[in-house]
Structure 1
Amino acid sequence: MSPFTLAVLINLLFMLFRLAYIILYPIDLSPEEAQYWDWSRHLDLSYYSKPPMVAYLNFLSTSVFGNTELGVRITPVILSFVMSVLLYIFVNKLFNERVALLSSVIPNLFVGTAINSVLMTTDAPLVFFWGVTVMLIYMAVERNTAALWFWVGVFAGLAFLSKYPAVFLFPLTLLYLFLVNRELLLSTNPYISLIPAFTLSLPVLVWNIKHNFISFRHVSALAEKNAHFPNLGTFFEFIGGQVLLLSVFPFFFMVYGWWKTFRERDSRLVFLTVYSLPVFIFFSSLALKKKVYANWAGFGYFTGAVLAALFMDKLLKRSKPIFIGVVTLSGSLIILLHFTPLIDYVGLRKLLPPKRDPARVMIGWEELGREVGKFYTGKELVFSSSYQIAAELAFYVEGNPRTFVFHLGRMTQYYLWRDRLKTYKGRDALFISDWGLPDRVKKHFKNYEFLKSVDIFWRGEKVKSYKIYRMTNFTGWFDESPKGY
């Protein structure tokens, strides 16, 4: 069996496992997935916090598979498989079949890859289009044809439509050209890529002009929120998150690859390092000021994973037992990530109690939707003060009702849809909350009554509780004042 065939078969097995996991394992959509699905019911040029690609892909997949978990999550499963095959082909040309096989298979054992291959968030399309773009850049630098640079621009534009960090492609590519072929900086071909990239990005700019640049205000607010320097706590939390994203040992192989790049000056290593190390440095520096979520730097590990695979291959040649140990540890982390109740059986419950289990955010939404559905006749206004709850109810209440948010905190996409509230004037409503009924909500209704409390259990412990209220005679508007972006 050829290494390529083996790579395809192994990745097919991972794909089948993910499909079975989505269909059979009792977890629901995460709140972000539910929100992006809800966006797909209101297609637009862009959205409050993110570009539109995730909504477009959700629209396509749910048009085929329906409003189901599979309908939402089939896209990252397919993208992950296709990328693994493309990565094999690319790395085989870059190095050899052994490294190509490891580069295609080993990332499946990364925590970050496992998440992006199942959950339909903006990271899944970003990583895919980012990966295709950087591979095309390598080929375009080698051949310098107008056609290749044009396709670089197309996929860079698609990456930007997926998530804003795609803008890193421009400065990193300039850096790469400066390091490996400075003459190309004076050639017109590389700049051809800017035409399709800008054209594809233009709708997002137009949408933001119409909405007072709200997306950029949101991103700016995220960058400044609770910022102070130096913040060693958030810095080490970020570094720990990066180690975990690459399942511990592969992270250190990647770091070793960065170090070897400066020692050996191999142009292939320079390519892999340029599109990974600066991303890590940028977000690490930001983490010295504020909390930075681990996944923010994840797209930079596309080439970083190839570096890790390259030096893991060298380990395999020297010591197969150690290599097997590294792979086994990574595989064990992936199993625990997918099936966190196993943590209780291996005696690590105190290390990760149910209330800190990341899986808890995907538990209980279908149950809550079912309970709300018992009171929903199809005529009521369904809303919450949390966009997460509103999005999940839109997905899990039978009939997929239109839901709304009464904003007590920061603004969300739902604030831009509040004009449609007037169609519910005079009707009853169902308000769902995880903490109670605010006075500001009460004043928009004639009366209210508490209907039910819904407790959610995970790994034998209550992790969430929701309250359902019936409100009568809606005024037709919300007196909202979102606090920031």
Structure 2
Amino acid sequence: MSRTSLGAAAASGPPWFLVFVLGLMLLRLVYAGQVELAPQEAYYWQYARHLDLSYLDHPPLCAWWMALSMRLLGNTELAVRLPAILSSTLLSGVLYSLGARLYSPAAGVLAALAANATVLFGLGAVVMTPDVPLVLCWTAALRVLCELVLPDGQGPGRFAWRWYLLGLLCGLALLSKYTAALLPLQVLATALVTRRGREALRTPHPYLACVLMLAVFSPVLAWNHAHGWASFAFQTTSRARTVDGFHGFLVGRYLGLQAVAVGPLLYLALWLTAPVLARQAWRGDARARLLAFASLPGLALFTLVSPLHWVKMNWVAPAYIGLMVAAAAGACALRERRAVRAYAALSVGVGAVLMVGMYLMPLCPWIPFRERDNLVSGWRELAEAVQRHRGATGLPAPAVVGWGYKTASELAFYLPDRPETRSDAALGGSGLAYDFWRDPADPEGDAIIVADQRQPLRDAATRLGAHCAAVTELPSVTVHRGPRTVTTFSLWSCQHARPPRQVAARGLPAVSEGAR
């Protein structure tokens, strides 16, 4: 394949591949408006309603993209998800370009198909989270890095523009999610172990690219400086405090979730690819070194952390990009072997079945699913019930408090007037980003408090007694997926809710977050 620009490389794939990618995009656009928001999406929608330089638990790029989409399409599910759909379409093209540039067009096509046939990337194509811009920028950065460090790369270009494009992409990745802190370190490691990379480090351009990266990331630094470095503390010391020793069951959960995320057969193939890629890198293959540094440190890090801390399904996503390209290249190199072709087809097929099943689960109640883990059904049903209680109290309507940011965010989106809901901080707990959106000294008023049995308000009597002049328990609300029960929500009417500062001033008990 001739060395071409990123966009031209994506377009040079087989025509059926382009039709496939555009067809997927259209299907996802239709699907996006049919399914209720996942709690994380509703939470990031709240980010977008409270635009800022950054937020407690994530950098701002996801919210910025979402806010732009909402400005065009309004407060709809499609508007929330449009950035994810467009990003996933671009990711398919960039992933194809990366595989084709390093190995062959066939490897690029297989890598892109495999990614789209996973729950992690396929479902992530319609669920807008910070991982969406992170993975796109990460993959694009690897594609640019190919031209900078590989022996047959095009080099930095006029005015060394590729180094500055790389710096921009690393900055945007950092502006997406803190996991991207691994990316510039991996770029540096790749430069150090390649001849062209070492030569480039003797010029000013990589260092000026780092300055550009930090400039792009500067909104996060400015926000943290203004808020006592709260986000950095949350991601480091706060998470470290949750580690309480080795837990074998967490390893099983980690491996099981990752097997579901990419499909069990593909997951096994990626693990088998890892030592092969490491061996090729050790022997001096520049392509293998680039992919190994892009994938293996992240995979090793999260695997080592898994016995100590719950590693969520999506955290490992960037580490799979390089491994997928390497695995696709290996399968293409051995395509004459019938067993290899069969395993590759089966890996993609099994992943696709899991992914399609996850797509259809909210729409088809007959698909078996552990309803406790069903986070996209019943929110409209809950909002209708809460609105009836709000309407019965007259004006002004009581405030709405969701115990847990998930419930608070979903109610903010699905209640008809889209009110400024409150979260745990209204009851003396920690509301994550909600703590920065509302003054804890708000005046007294009535409130309806809602708690999901999946995240129950265990100390309700003590906590509500401390924060409400009077409490009336309301009928609970059970929500459904078709005839199946998803979960039940407990509701209370809180008269003259006291702000947390007032509760502390009166010497009333403040129940710790650990009671949840």
Relative to the length of structure 2, the TM-score reads 0.84
Residue in 1 that maps onto 2:7: none
How big is each residue's C-alpha offset from its partner over 1:270-317, in whole Å with a ceiling of 9 and x where there is no partner? Answer: 211210111100111111322222321111112222112212323543
Distance 1:443 1:180 in 2: 63
Distance 1:431 1:342 in 2: 29
Residue in 2 that maps onto 1:150: 164
Residue in 2 that maps onto 1:252: 268
**Aligned residue pairs, count:** 473
Distance 2:93 2:305 in 1: 34
Q: For residue 225 of structure 1, report the CA deviation from its aligned partner.
A: 4.1
Residue in 2 that maps onto 1:470: 493
Residue in 2 that maps onto 1:364: 378
The alpha-carbon distance between structure 1 residues 73 and 473, as it changes in their structure 2 partners (threshold 3 A), is same
Is 1:190 the counterpart of 2:202 in the alignment?
no
The alpha-carbon distance between structure 1 residues 47 and 438, as it changes in their structure 2 partners (threshold 3 A), is farther
The alpha-carbon distance between structure 1 residues 243 and 445, as it changes in their structure 2 partners (threshold 3 A), is closer
Is 1:14 the counterpart of 2:14 in the alignment?
no
- Are the aligned partners of 2:138 and 2:318 in contact in 1 as well (CA < 8 Å)? yes
- Are the aligned partners of 1:144 and 1:190 in contact in 2 as well (CA < 8 Å)? no
Distance 1:154 1:397 in 2: 39
The alpha-carbon distance between structure 1 residues 222 and 15, as it changes in their structure 2 partners (threshold 3 A), is farther
The alpha-carbon distance between structure 1 residues 126 and 439, as it changes in their structure 2 partners (threshold 3 A), is same
Distance 2:311 2:289 in 1: 26
The alpha-carbon distance between structure 1 residues 30 and 344, as it changes in their structure 2 partners (threshold 3 A), is closer
Q: For residue 195 of structure 1, report the CA deviation from its aligned partner.
A: 1.2
Residue in 1 that maps onto 2:14: 4
Partner of 1:292, secondary structure, is coil
Distance 1:273 1:168 in 2: 13
- Are the aligned partners of 2:137 and 2:169 in contact in 1 as well (CA < 8 Å)? yes
Residue in 1 that maps onto 2:4: none
Is 1:75 the counterpart of 2:83 in the alignment?
yes
The alpha-carbon distance between structure 1 residues 228 and 477, as it changes in their structure 2 partners (threshold 3 A), is closer
Distance 2:444 2:354 in 1: 53
Residue in 1 that maps onto 2:290: 271
Q: For residue 33 of structure 1, report the CA deviation from its aligned partner.
A: 1.0
Amino acid at match of 2:96: Y
1:432 to 431, 450, 454: 450
- Are the aligned partners of 2:424 and 2:431 in contact in 1 as well (CA < 8 Å)? no
Relative to the length of structure 1, the TM-score reads 0.89
Q: For residue 477 of structure 1, report the CA deviation from its aligned partner.
A: 5.1
Residue in 2 that maps onto 1:111: 119
Q: For residue 202 of structure 1, report the CA deviation from its aligned partner.
A: 1.5
Amino acid at match of 1:272: L
Q: For residue 97 of structure 1, report the CA deviation from its aligned partner.
A: 1.9
Distance 1:396 1:11 in 2: 32
- Are the aligned partners of 2:423 and 2:431 in contact in 1 as well (CA < 8 Å)? no
Is 1:398 the counterpart of 2:398 in the alignment?
no
1:381 to 382, 392, 399: 399
Distance 1:153 1:263 in 2: 29
1:207 to 188, 201, 223: 223
- Are the aligned partners of 1:253 and 1:311 in contact in 2 as well (CA < 8 Å)? no
- Are the aligned partners of 1:456 and 1:463 in contact in 2 as well (CA < 8 Å)? yes
Amino acid at match of 1:371: A
1:353 to 344, 350, 370: 370
Q: For residue 17 of structure 1, report the CA deviation from its aligned partner.
A: 2.4
Amino acid at match of 1:449: T
Give 1:54-203 correspondences, 5 Å limit. Answer: 54-141=62-149, 142=153, 143-145=155-157, 146-181=160-195, 182-203=198-219
Residue in 2 that maps onto 1:451: 474
Residue in 2 that maps onto 1:441: 464
Amino acid at match of 2:414: Y
- Are the aligned partners of 1:389 and 1:432 in contact in 2 as well (CA < 8 Å)? yes
Distance 2:38 2:74 in 1: 17
- The percent identity for this pair of structures is 27
Q: For residue 214 of structure 1, report the CA deviation from its aligned partner.
A: 0.9
- Are the aligned partners of 1:253 and 1:307 in contact in 2 as well (CA < 8 Å)? no
Distance 2:305 2:415 in 1: 40
- Are the aligned partners of 1:4 and 1:88 in contact in 2 as well (CA < 8 Å)? no
Give 1:28-43 correspondences, 5 Å limit. Answer: 28-43=36-51
How big is each residue's C-alpha offset from its partner over 1:93-130, in whole Å with a ceiling of 9 and x where there is no partner? Answer: 32222112212222101121123111111111111111
The alpha-carbon distance between structure 1 residues 477 and 239, as it changes in their structure 2 partners (threshold 3 A), is closer
Residue in 1 that maps onto 2:308: 289
Distance 1:342 1:70 in 2: 16
Bigger shift: residues 335-344 or 444-453 = 335-344
- Are the aligned partners of 2:117 and 2:349 in contact in 1 as well (CA < 8 Å)? no
Bigger shift: residues 139-148 or 8-17 = 139-148
- Are the aligned partners of 1:455 and 1:465 in contact in 2 as well (CA < 8 Å)? yes
Distance 2:178 2:12 in 1: 39
1:418 to 432, 438, 442: 438
Tell me, which stretches of 5 or more residues in structure 2 are unaligned? 1-10, 505-509
The alpha-carbon distance between structure 1 residues 123 and 223, as it changes in their structure 2 partners (threshold 3 A), is same
Amino acid at match of 1:446: A
- Are the aligned partners of 2:175 and 2:216 in contact in 1 as well (CA < 8 Å)? yes
Distance 2:358 2:146 in 1: 34
Partner of 1:401, secondary structure, is coil
Distance 1:369 1:386 in 2: 15
Distance 1:94 1:314 in 2: 13
Tell me, which stretches of 5 or more residues in structure 1 are unaligned? none
- Are the aligned partners of 1:429 and 1:471 in contact in 2 as well (CA < 8 Å)? yes
Q: For residue 431 of structure 1, report the CA deviation from its aligned partner.
A: 1.8
Amino acid at match of 1:413: A
Q: For residue 10 of structure 1, report the CA deviation from its aligned partner.
A: 0.9
Q: For residue 340 of structure 1, report the CA deviation from its aligned partner.
A: 3.7
- Are the aligned partners of 1:49 and 1:218 in contact in 2 as well (CA < 8 Å)? yes
The alpha-carbon distance between structure 1 residues 152 and 472, as it changes in their structure 2 partners (threshold 3 A), is same
Distance 1:61 1:326 in 2: 35
Q: For residue 465 of structure 1, report the CA deviation from its aligned partner.
A: 1.0
Bigger shift: residues 59-68 or 314-323 = 314-323
- Are the aligned partners of 1:51 and 1:160 in contact in 2 as well (CA < 8 Å)? yes
How big is each residue's C-alpha offset from its partner over 1:175-221, in whole Å with a ceiling of 9 and x where there is no partner? Answer: 11122223333332222211111111112112112111111111124
The alpha-carbon distance between structure 1 residues 95 and 221, as it changes in their structure 2 partners (threshold 3 A), is same
Amino acid at match of 1:127: V
Amino acid at match of 1:328: G
- Are the aligned partners of 2:50 and 2:437 in contact in 1 as well (CA < 8 Å)? no
